[in-house]
Amino acid sequence: MYYLLYGFLYLISLLPLRVLYLFSDLAFLLVYRVLGYRKKVVLDNLRTAFPDRTEAAREAIARRFYRNFTDTFIETIKFISAPPSFFRRHFQADFSEVREIYRDGRSIHFHIGHNFNWELVNLAMPEHLPGPLIGVYLPLTARPVDRLFYKIRSRFGTRLVAAFRMSREMMPFRGQQYILGLIADQSPPGPQRAYWTRFFGKPTAFLRTPEDAARRNNSPVFFYHTTRLRRGYYQGHLHLASAQPASLPPGELTRRYARYLEQVMTDHPELWLWSHRRWKLPYNPEWKLVEDQML
């Protein structure tokens, strides 16, 4: 099954991007207009994040989100066969600060969000970075699809480790210097094992792993997001969140990330993955928000 899927999509990926975008336009009509894929979740999330905006304004964000959503899917198919020169043309970012800090001999962590097109990160970044890129990923349930995404994401040298096996799979890299990329805006598997902070004014659970891993090794942390210059062309943005995360109180790095992500999502709402249920976990006041613990 995997080889049939890979072979079929590889042939499609050979088409010019301008032709592939015709498929994206059709997919948009199907996903947004006909099926309304997870539209209730998208609009509920937008109401939570932007209660002061009109319903028409939120609907406009949703419409642009679905266009970027289908574009991301089509662009990821293109990534199956696209050469390195493709990514040099379609992605730009300034990594000079990363290279400067890396020269100090410490590993660096990137905390990344679900901003389109996040699949670009594993492929466009490695040749710009001063050390090997390790990407933490969540394996997909469908094994043929999981193998396909693993192959795409690791094409240019990114070393992938599964999130639920992170401690074990990071063992071979102990004593080495590297750059670690983690998707830090996902909901944790259990509310008791989360950092809770206000996110768009609502108590929200964040994964502990991104912060705890950085604090444990005192690895400098950059927050990262991508913006879209025009269709198919992207710019990466890096913000040094902390050069000494071990010196921060527990939860502070997560709080900073939540504020950073809020700003990114407010400035570019159409570029975030609104179709997952970000506020699905109920909050128990006994757990305390990280802001309250610092008082």
Q: What average pLDDT does the chain have?
A: 95
Looking at residue 189, what is its pLDDT? 85
- What pLDDT shows up at residue 138? 87
Give the three-class secondary structure for 235.
strand
Q: What is the pTM of this model?
A: 0.94
Three-state SS for 205-257 is EECCHHHHHHHHHCCCEEEEEEEEEECCEEEEEEEEEECCHHHCCCCHHHHHH
Give mean pLDDT, residues 138-151.
92
pLDDT for 274 beyond 60: yes
In whole angstroms, give the CA distance from residue 75 to residue 9. Answer: 12
pLDDT of 295? 57
- Whether 12 and 77 have beta carbons less than 8 Å apart is answered as yes
Rounded average pLDDT over 24-35: 97
Residue 276 sits at φ, ψ, to 5 deg, of: -105, 150
89-93, 235-239, 275-279, range with the lowest pLDDT: 275-279
User: What pLDDT is stored for residue 234 in this prediction?
Assistant: 98
Task: For residues 45-64, give the mean pLDDT.
Answer: 98
What distance in Å separates the CA atoms of residue 208 and residue 196, rounded to the nearest whole number?
A: 9
The helix-helix angle for 55-78 and 39-49 (nearest 10°) equals: 120
Q: Looking at residues 241-263, what average pLDDT do you find?
A: 97
Q: 127: which DSSP letter? A: G
Closest C-alpha among 179, 189, 195 to residue 135:
179
Q: Which has the minimum average pLDDT: 235-239, 274-278, 282-286?
A: 282-286
Whole-number Å distance between alpha carbons of 128 and 139: 26
Whole-number pLDDT of residue 190: 83
Domain residue limits, the chain: 2-293
Q: Find where tokens 């950059």 sit.
A: 222
Q: Provide the token pair at 216.
A: 């444990």
pLDDT tens-digit map of 170-193: 988 888 999 999 999 988 988 888
Residue 104, pLDDT above cutoff 80: yes
